[in-house]
Chains A and B, each alone.
Chain A
Amino acid sequence: MKSQTLQHKNAFGKLLMSVGLFILVGILFNPLQAQTEPITVKGIVKDINGPLDGVSIYLKGSKAGTVSKANGNFTFPNQLSSGDVLIFSYLGYKKESIVIDKDSTFIELTMTEEAIDVLSAPNTNLPYKSKRRRSN
């Protein structure tokens, strides 16, 4: 009876060992683990007429960022991880955001201009003058 219990214990220990090993291997070779490797992001920002100079590119939720050069090229100064979001912002153009994955080493982005109706009515503090006064 006693030896039977011991055998049971041994079997249980082996099972525990193999499960542990399996989990360890799973952690070490996890494909998700591979995705969190740092990614260096480069790219070019354009509009329909060609490269855009001075586009602000920054990592969402942080102060890390850069600005595109005259030829539209940029290299993001920080290493990024999969799932990070880069925001592209340029006055007069629609804001764009790009989610980084392991294939985002080179981003080619064409930004579109913001369609706005340009309207203007400056206010003054001049007292109103009625128009019908003279005819009355």
Chain B
Amino acid sequence: MVRRFFLLGFLIISLQISSAQSQDFESIDFKKADQLALQNRGAKLDDMPELVYNLTNDLETDVERFRAIYLWVCTNVKNDYGLYAKNKRKRNRFKDDSLKLEAWNEKFAKKIFSTLLRRKRTICTGYAYTVKSLCQLANIDCEIVNGFGKPSSGNPEDLEEPNHSWNAVKLDGKWYLSDPTWASGIQDPETGRFKFNYNDGLFLVSPQLFAINHFPIEQRWFLMDSIPTFDAFVNAPIIYNDAYKLLSNHISPQRLYNEIKRDSSLSIDYELKPNINAENVTLTIDDGNTTYNRLPDTVEQNNNSINIKYKLKKRGFYDIHLRIDDLLIATYVVRVIP
């Protein structure tokens, strides 16, 4: 009998250790949480306590409750490009006048909340705020993190003011990062139309990958021991939202702009998420005049590490877009010198 108890205790302890090692929540099936988010599609935000109750009451763990809330926000709140453009214009105009900026912020915050409540449309802060508010009602510790987000369009060097908000959430005593705005869908900057297209890669993200295009104002929200400089962040390669589906870390090259000698190779290293087999790697190369597709010279995958090499044989200036299984992962700019 005593031996049985001992064995049972040992089993429980070893199970706990293994779940902590296996990317923390890999053992949890989010089917029920996802189902609840789906069942509550179209619910209004004017009764948040009821919404939270409906989303979380049947769930056992905090991570499942967070999942249901987060997924509901990502699949029910639209990104409002009109609001974004207006806010960007005003913040830019008042960037050197703190009083006017504060007055604008106060006025705009009211508008944000009324638009969110009436039309379930918002911009980043609204997403992060909604996730935080709903989490509070479910007794989950969740924070808004403000900082710099580096979208794929535009020039990274133009990042002067904080422009993005996301969430940090504490689950089982540990903090995690998620970006509900970028996970909800993609905005067409020309038409202003938003399309829901949930990207699960931005849920409880690896902090190392997140830091390639997220730079929090408060350093503690990197959730890493080694923190990149702002300069390194601005000059880091462009990674796309789809990269979050496949990668857990972007290792090299560490800069967007690279210079290599003719007949040398551009060498790219990533850490892949568990169980990803990157079979189909393609490069789209833009030399300024034409755009063409090429296969890399070598692709070597060793467990979760992958190395991709491509030799550049001619002088020139190239934008190299890398795809894995047709998902746009990253862009590197390469100047090839003699």
Contact = CB atoms under 8 A, between A and B. Distances in A.
A2 interface: no
Given A56-B49, A58-B49, A133-B288, A120 B84 contact: yes
Contacts of B187: 122-124
A102 B46 CA distance: 30
Interface in A69-102: 87, 89, 91-92, 95
Contacts of A65: 47, 49-50
B54 to A, nearest CB: 9
Contacts, number: 150
Interface in B290-328: 316-317, 319, 321, 328
Contacts of A121: 84, 124, 149, 151, 163-164, 181
A114 B165 CA distance: 15
Given A56-B47, A114-B129, A126-B152, A119 B146 contact: yes
Contacts of B152: 123-128
Given A54-B46, A120-B164, A128-B331, A63 B137 contact: no
B175 interface: no
Interface in A96-136: 113-134, 136
B189 interface: yes
A98 B32 CA distance: 32
Contacts of A131: 155
B81 A91 contact: no
B79 interface: yes
Contact of A134 (B146, B241, B288, B321): B288
B319 A128 contact: yes
Interface stretch (B3-11, B12-20, B105-113, B263-271): B105-113
Given A125-B328, A136-B288, A116 B129 contact: yes
Given A63-B53, A130-B333, A120 B319 contact: no
Contact of A122 (B108, B123, B321): B123
A114 B133 CA distance: 10
B50 A120 contact: no
Interface residues of A, number: 34
Interface residues of B, number: 65
B133 A125 contact: no
A77 to B, nearest CB: 13
Interface in A2-31: none
A132 B182 contact: no
Given A56-B49, A116-B129, A133 B317 contact: yes
A127 B328 contact: yes
A44 interface: no
A99 B58 CA distance: 26
B322 to A, nearest CB: 10
B64 interface: no
B87 A120 contact: yes
A118 B333 CA distance: 32
A69 to B, nearest CB: 13
Given A89-B49, A92-B113, 9 more contacts: A63-B53, A91-B113, A91-B133, A117-B165, A118-B108, A118-B112, A121-B163, A130-B319, A133-B286
26 contacts: A54-B46, A56-B50, A58-B50, A63-B57, A65-B50, A67-B46, A89-B49, A92-B112, A116-B144, A117-B125, A118-B105, A120-B83, A120-B87, A120-B88, A120-B124, A121-B164, A122-B81, A124-B151, A124-B153, A125-B240, A126-B152, A127-B331, A128-B319, A130-B333, A132-B257, A132-B333
